[in-house]
Amino acid sequence: MPLNTLKPKVKSTKKRVGRGNGSKMGTYSCKGMKGQTARSGGRRRPGFEGGQTPYLRRLPKLKGFKNPNTINYQVINISDLNAFDDKAKVTKKELYEKNLIAKLSSPVKLLGSGKLEKAVEVEVDKASASAIKAVEAQKGKVHLPKEKVKKDD
């Protein structure tokens, strides 16, 4: 197809305003009558609300900082693991079924509060040193994801 035969789609070109009354867009050029918005350069700054106190100035100034990268762990204590049988394998799913955690999507952290009386294998996202020590003292195991395990140099 020769390039000189190409034509734009119908109504694909921008309206040419202010080019006389014959164009149907003359006289006021779609700007209305007089006033700030009819003038050249007559635009209000972003957030301007006609002279009333803008929304962003009506909001209180809040102190502090909220970290967007924070991780909210669901906490369980080793005393909660006594609800399981001896030599049981405890995962997020089992904790959820016993109503020890609220949701499966959030990570779980095991803490060392209370007394553990059963040997269990626990699979959690994070665990405190005292919790790991208490579980291993009862001949149990704590399984953590590989990236969470600290390597001793």
Tell whether 131 and 80 lie within a shared domain.
yes
> What pLDDT does residue 153 have?
44
Categorise residue 69: left if φ over 0, alpha if ψ from -120 to 50, beta otherwise: alpha
Tell whether 43 and 81 lie within a shared domain.
no
> What pLDDT does residue 149 have?
55
Tell whether 136 and 83 lie within a shared domain.
yes
Give the separation between CA 88 and CA 78, rounded to whole angstroms.
14
> What pLDDT does residue 17 have?
85
Nearest in space to 120 (alpha carbons), one of 150, 94, 146, 100: 94
CATH code of the domain containing 83: 3.100.10.10
Q: Which domain holds residue 40?
A: 17-53
Provide the 10 A C-beta neighbour count for residue 127.
Answer: 23
pLDDT digits over 69-88, tens only? 999 999 999 999 999 999 99
Low-confidence ranges of the chain (pLDDT < 70): 147-153
Please indicate, yes or no, if residue 10 is contained in any of the structural domains.
Answer: no
- Backbone angles phi and psi of 24, in degrees to 5: 70, 5
Please indicate, yes or no, if residue 116 is contained in any of the structural domains.
Answer: yes
pTM of the predicted model over 0.75: no
Q: How many domains does the chain have?
A: 2
Please indicate, yes or no, if residue 102 is contained in any of the structural domains.
Answer: yes
Buried b (16+ CB within 10 A) or exposed e, 84-93: beeeeebebe
